[in-house]
């Protein structure tokens, strides 16, 4: 496990912004027990309170739904780009379907 500290390069001061980052090397099994007691305790608290499990489930479902919507939107854009590249749609037509300007769609195609 590697505990990360943010340090100001110019003076070596540690920045305490309340964020705690820990990297875990999962490719090496040296027998070290990996435990995140504060995180584990917070999850237990959320699950044990009335409606806590439902709250955790709702948060997970929201994150999943957002990711799914983002993936679908990206897939649609990729399809439009492929249709333009294959000559089946013009840039103008694809931009219209995507509800954006031709310039915005051209920039998207460049990526």
Tokens at 89, concatenated: 């749609």
- Quote the pTM value: 0.47
Q: Do residues 12 and 19 touch, judged by C-beta distance below 8 A? A: no
User: Which of the two residues, 103 and 23, has the higher pLDDT score?
Assistant: 103
pLDDT at 53: 64
Domain ranges of the chain: 2-27+34-110
Average pLDDT on 36-50 reads 71
Taking alpha carbons only, the member of 63, 66, 36, 40 closest to residue 55 is: 63
Cβ-based neighbours of 47, under 8 Å, separated by 6 or more: 53, 56
């Amino acid at each position: 496990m590697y505990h990360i500290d943010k340090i100001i390069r110019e003076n070596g001061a540690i920045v305490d912004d309340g964020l705690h980052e820990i990297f875990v090397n999962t490719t090496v099994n040296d027998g070290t027990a990996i435990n995140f007691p504060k995180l584990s305790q917070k999850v237990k608290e959320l699950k044990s309170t009335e409606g806590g499990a439902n709250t955790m489930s709702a948060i997970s479902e929201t994150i999943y739904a957002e990711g799914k919507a983002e993936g679908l939107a990206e897939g649609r854009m990729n399809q439009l780009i492929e249709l333009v590249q294959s000559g089946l749609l013009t840039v103008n037509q694809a931009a219209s379907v995507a509800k954006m300007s031709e310039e915005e769609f051209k920039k998207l195609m460049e990526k």
